[in-house]
Amino acid sequence: MIHKKYVHDFKGDGEVIVLLHGFLASSSYWSKLQPLLTNSGYRVVTIDLLGFGHAPKPKNLQYTYDDHVTYLHKIFGDLNLSKFTLIGHSMGALIASRYALLHPDLNALILLHPPLYKNTQEAQNTLRSTGKHYRFFLDSRFRELGWIAMRVLPFTRISPHGRAAREGSLRNVIESAQIFDDLEQMTTKTLLVIGSKDRHQYLTNITLFPLSRSVTISRHNVNHHSPFYKPNLVHDIVRTTID
């Protein structure tokens, strides 16, 4: 049975599109893109990732790729989804890529701005070199107080989440830097969207690793959050990819 608070099925008779948000976000991240897709006739489903938003937040999980994929596969089964297009943003794109690798019978896979780190060390160094505030929230022994404050301030857009989900997903998904291994083996038709205003490591690293012939790269003059700031562009990308 689907919990209505963390799985939103907007119905419709068209092709099914499932949207997976990124790190520290929730399904509300898609508030600008989802109506455009729904109005174009697609059946859109948005899901709060495990540990975020209104989704379950078990404290005894490591929040690995397997944990996230198992959670999603159960939801897709409950919704009786067999053929659909899976779209992920940022960390959601990493999880979507792993899901497609393990369950390739999808119509298409669209990866919006996944963190394209070449190894764990680069991921950790890049995040911590972003600024003192990043280092505080990631490493300070007082970081949990900071996260509590961030969650209650309305302008931060930080979704409800638990420490286990935040730190586990960061360590075992984002910082594990496994995306290029997945993309090299991918058999699902995949569009990888990269923004020229995103982290420069992503733009460099995408040229260094072999990708499957199933993967097409699409570059645009946008930042990391094109689904939120450029929803019309992303809507057009989606339609071009799957129609």
Residue 1 is predicted with a pLDDT of: 45
Does residue 1 lie within any of the structural domains?
no
Local structure of 20: helix, strand or coil:
strand
Which tens digits make up the pLDDT trace of 107-134? 999 999 999 999 999 998 888 776 555 5
pLDDT reading at 139 higher than 70: no
Residue at 110: amino acid letter: I
- Residues 150 and 136 sit within 8 Å (Cβ to Cβ): no
179 vs 151, more confident: 179
| Number of domains composing the chain | 1
Closest CA to 44 of 17, 21, 26, 20: 17
At 155-208, the pLDDT tens digits run 456 667 788 998 899 999 999 999 999 999 999 999 999 999 999 999 999 999
Q: How far apart are CA 6 and CA 48, in angstroms?
A: 5
In a domain, 183, yes or no: yes
Q: Is residue 208 part of a domain?
A: yes
> Does any domain span residue 148?
yes
Inside any domain, residue 2: no
Task: Report d(CA 173, CA 179) in Å as an integer.
Answer: 9
- At residue 237, what are phi and psi to the nearest 5 degrees? -60, -45
pLDDT at 154 over 60: no
At residue 166, the pLDDT reads: 87
Q: Which domain holds residue 237?
A: 7-242
Q: Which CATH number covers residue 59?
A: 3.40.50.1820
Q: Are 221 and 197 in contact (CB under 8 A)?
A: yes
Mean pLDDT, the chain, rounded, equals 90
Q: Name the residue among 31, 7, 142 with its Cα closest to residue 89.
A: 31
Which strands sit side by side in the sheet containing 7-9, from one edge to the other?
Answer: 7-9, 43-47, 16-20, 85-89, 108-112, 190-195, 215-220
Partner residues linked to 47 by β-bridges? 7, 20
* pLDDT tens-place string over residues 69-96: 999 999 999 999 989 999 999 999 999 9
Q: Which residues pair with 85 in a beta bridge?
A: 17, 108
Hey, what's the torsion of the CAs at 182, 187, 190, 196, to 10 degrees? 40
Distance CA 176, CA 185 (A): 17
pLDDT at 146 over 80: no
Q: How confident is the model at residue 229 (pLDDT cuts 50, 70, 90)?
A: very high
